[in-house]
């Protein structure tokens, strides 16, 4: 479980509250029920109107998955595949049947099982690749609810501020309350921007990132399963799989190894 999203959101709220306290303000001033209702209900509804109900529910499932899932460990994929390749080369493809129990990754299990069952390599490639494509499409769909919300929230915040200012402008008779009313009007803009930049947009980006990492892991597995089925040299399989790993920093594996 990678805590970047949860920690990031909490620390960002902390920075906002901290900066308010440093300026001598009262953080409770931003808790305005009408603004919160407008921004969170209004934004969610605008996003909901942009999609269908199953698709919206899927987005919430993706959010939970993206926040709690362990990022895929590519090395944990390569190692068992190379071991399988060695066994298949030595003892034949059918010998993998006995190893099937030890594989915990369901996609790798499915692929190897199909290989052991004698599925045609073209069919195998087509079926597994279609699942990768579906995974990518699902991640894009899953992120779109939050991307949409990140686009709607700031403008719905402006709606709240305009509504507040209209209310102020039609009640100019009591100048003593003006400052407080105008302040309240701006809280809607605040929450619109805040929810978009500290919650909705990061959520959408995280879902996309986690989904694409999943798809990369699946592509690595396909590569490995097809090589095992073709009886490739385990050393070449390892080199090929490593060359397809995307490093997180500027140094590619080739350069580190050199």
Q: Which residues contact 249 (CB under 8 A, 6 or more apart)?
A: none
Residue 248: partners with Cβ closer than 8 Å, 6 or more residues away = none
Residue in 99, 109, 125, 226 binding a copy of itself, rule: CB under 8 A: 109
Q: Which stretch binds a copy of itself (CB under 8 A): 76-84, 93-101, 167-175?
A: 167-175
Nearer to a copy of itself, 95 or 138 (CB): 138
Rounded CA separation 74/242 (Å): 9
Choices 83-91, 93-101, 205-213; region in contact with a copy of itself by CB under 8 A: 205-213
Dihedral of the alpha carbons of 56, 58, 62, 68, in degrees to the nearest 10: 110
- Decide: is 226 part of the binding site for a copy of itself (CB under 8 A): no
Nearer CB in complex with a copy of itself: 91/137: 137
CA dist 152 and 149 (Å) reads 5
Q: Applying CB under 8 A, which part among 82-90, 93-101, 209-217 lies near a copy of itself?
A: 209-217
Nearest to 134 by CA among 238, 248, 219, 19: 219
**Considering the complex, what minimum distance in angstroms separates the CB of residue 58 from a copy of itself?**
3
Both tokens of 244, joined, read 């397809």
Query: Which of positions 116-135 make contact with a copy of itself (CB under 8 A)?
Result: 119, 123, 126-128, 130-131, 133-135
Among 28, 90, 174, 258, binds a copy of itself (CB under 8 A): 258
Q: Which of 77, 84, 96, 164 binds a copy of itself (CB under 8 A)?
A: 164
Name which of 226, 231, 236 is nearest 108 in CA terms: 226
Q: Choose one: 79-87, 90-98, 233-241; the region binding a copy of itself (CB under 8 A).
A: 233-241
Instruction: Write the Ramachandran bin of 70: left for phi over 0, alpha for psi from -120 to 50, otherwise beta.
Output: beta
User: 115, 187, 222, 225: which one contacts a copy of itself (CB under 8 A)?
Assistant: 187
The 35-64 site mask, x for binding a copy of itself (CB under 8 A), equals: x-xx--xx--xxxxxxxxxxxxxx--xx--
| Binder of a copy of itself out of 96, 112, 152, 224 (CB under 8 A) | 152
> Is the torsion defined by CA of 162, 165, 170, 171 positive or negative?
positive
Residue 234 binding a copy of itself, by CB under 8 A: no
Interaction of residue 190 with a copy of itself, rule CB under 8 A: yes
* Residue 212 host element (H or E): helix 201-229
Q: Are 207 and 66 in contact (CB under 8 A)?
A: yes
User: Which sign, positive or negative, has the C-alpha torsion 254, 256, 257, 258?
Assistant: positive
Residue 88 within binding range of a copy of itself, rule CB under 8 A:
no
């Amino acid at each position: 479980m990678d805590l970047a999203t949860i920690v990031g959101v909490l620390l960002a709220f902390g920075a906002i509250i901290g900066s308010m306290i440093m300026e001598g303000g009262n953080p409770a001033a931003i808790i305005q029920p009408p603004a919160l209702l407008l921004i969170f209900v209004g934004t969610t509804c605008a996003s909901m109107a942009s999609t269908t109900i199953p698709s919206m529910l899927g987005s919430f499932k993706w959010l939970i998955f993206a926040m709690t899932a362990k990022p895929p460990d590519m090395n944990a994929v390569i190692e068992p595949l190379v071991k399988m390749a060695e066994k298949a080369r030595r003892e034949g493809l059918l010998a993998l049947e006995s190893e099937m129990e030890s594989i915990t990754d369901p996609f790798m299990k499915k692929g190897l099982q199909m290989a052991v069952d004698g599925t045609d390599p073209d069919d195998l490639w087509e079926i597994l690749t279609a699942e990768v494509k579906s995974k990518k499409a699902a991640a894009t769909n899953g992120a779109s609810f939050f991307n949409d919300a990140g686009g709607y929230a700031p403008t719905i915040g402006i709606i709240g501020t305009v509504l507040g200012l209209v209310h102020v402008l039609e009640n100019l008779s009591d100048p003593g309350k003006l400052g407080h009313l105008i302040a309240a009007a701006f809280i809607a803009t605040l929450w619109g921007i805040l929810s978009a930049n500290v919650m909705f947009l990061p959520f959408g980006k995280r879902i996309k990132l986690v989904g694409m990492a999943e798809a990369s892991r699946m592509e690595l597995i396909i590569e490995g399963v097809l090589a095992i089925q073709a009886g490739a040299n385990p050393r070449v399989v390892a080199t090929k799989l490593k060359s397809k790993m995307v490093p997180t920093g500027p140094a590619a594996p080739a350069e580190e190894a050199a």
